[in-house]
């Protein structure tokens, strides 16, 4: 099965908040080019709260986010 990456840029983030909570894993790319990967626990217009694979909680202000990336299974 193939996968597709869905990229949501900071300017469109508010439109996709409910859909992001449904994803198993997301990658948050910060403006500093640091990437944090994990499961979103809470999203709001001001910040994203993520739980990484080591069970550490990260709270990221939306102003620091460049984009959020998640994978979906391709239909082929």
Q: Where are the domains of the chain?
A: 9-72
pLDDT band per the 50, 70, 90 thresholds, residue 73 = confident
Q: State how far the alpha carbon of 1 is from the alpha carbons of 22, 25, 43, 51, 73, in Å.
A: 20, 18, 30, 27, 7
pLDDT digits 0-9 by tens, 13-52: 989 988 899 999 999 999 999 999 999 999 888 999 999 9
* 65 CB neighbour count, 10 Å cutoff: 19
* CATH architecture designation of domain 9-72: Roll (2.30)
d(C-alpha 30, C-alpha 28), whole Å: 6
Distance linking the first and last C-alpha atoms of the chain = 7
pTM of structure: 0.88
């Amino acid at each position: 099965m193939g996968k597709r990456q869905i990229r949501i840029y900071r300017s469109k983030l508010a439109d996709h908040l409910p859909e992001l909570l449904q994803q198993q894993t997301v990658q948050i790319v910060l403006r500093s080019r640091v990437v944090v990967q994990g499961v979103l626990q809470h999203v709001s217009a001001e910040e994203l709260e993520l739980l990484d694979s080591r069970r550490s909680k990260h709270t990221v202000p939306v102003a620091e986010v460049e984009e959020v990336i998640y994978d979906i299974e391709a239909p082929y």
